[in-house]
Amino acid sequence: MTHTPDIMRPDRLLVEALREIGTATIASELRNLSIRNASITGPCAFTTGKVSAGPALTLQFMPMREDQFGAAEYDDPEKQLHRHVLYHAQKGDMVVVDARGDMDSGIFGEMMLTYFAGLGGEGVVIDGCIRDSAKARDLGLGLWVRGVTPNFHAQTNIFPFGVNVPIACANTFVMPGDIIVADDDGAVVVPVAMAEQVIEVGGRHSEWEEFTRLRLSQGGDLRKYYPLRADAEAEYLAWKTQRGS
Which residue among 155, 177, 236, 240 contacts a second copy (CB under 8 A)?
A: 155
232 phi, psi to nearest 5 deg: -110, -5
Question: How open is the CA angle 116-16-140, to the nearest 5 degrees?
Answer: 30
Closest approach of a second copy to the CB of residue 229, in Å: 10
Question: How open is the CA angle 157-158-162, to the nearest 5 degrees?
Answer: 170
Per CB under 8 A, 53 contacts a second copy: no
Which residue among 47, 52, 58, 149 contacts a second copy (CB under 8 A)?
A: 149
Per CB under 8 A, 72 contacts a second copy: no
Binding map of a second copy across residues 10-49, x = CB under 8 A, - = no contact: ------------xxx-xxx--x--xxxx-x-xx-x---xx
Burial of 53 (0-12, 13-18, 19+ CB in 10 A): buried
Closest approach of a second copy to the CB of residue 52, in Å: 13
- Concatenated DSSP letters of 157-195: SEEEEEESS-EEETTEEE-TT-EEEEETTEEEEE-HHHH
Per CB under 8 A, 118 contacts a second copy: yes
Which residue among 93, 191, 228, 232 contacts a second copy (CB under 8 A)?
A: 191
Rounded to whole angstroms, the maximal C-alpha distance in the chain is 74
Per CB under 8 A, 166 contacts a second copy: yes
Which residue among 78, 138, 200, 207 contacts a second copy (CB under 8 A)?
A: 78
User: Which of 167, 170, 165, 197 is CA-nearest to residue 182?
Assistant: 170
Per CB under 8 A, 73 contacts a second copy: no
Per CB under 8 A, 120 contacts a second copy: yes
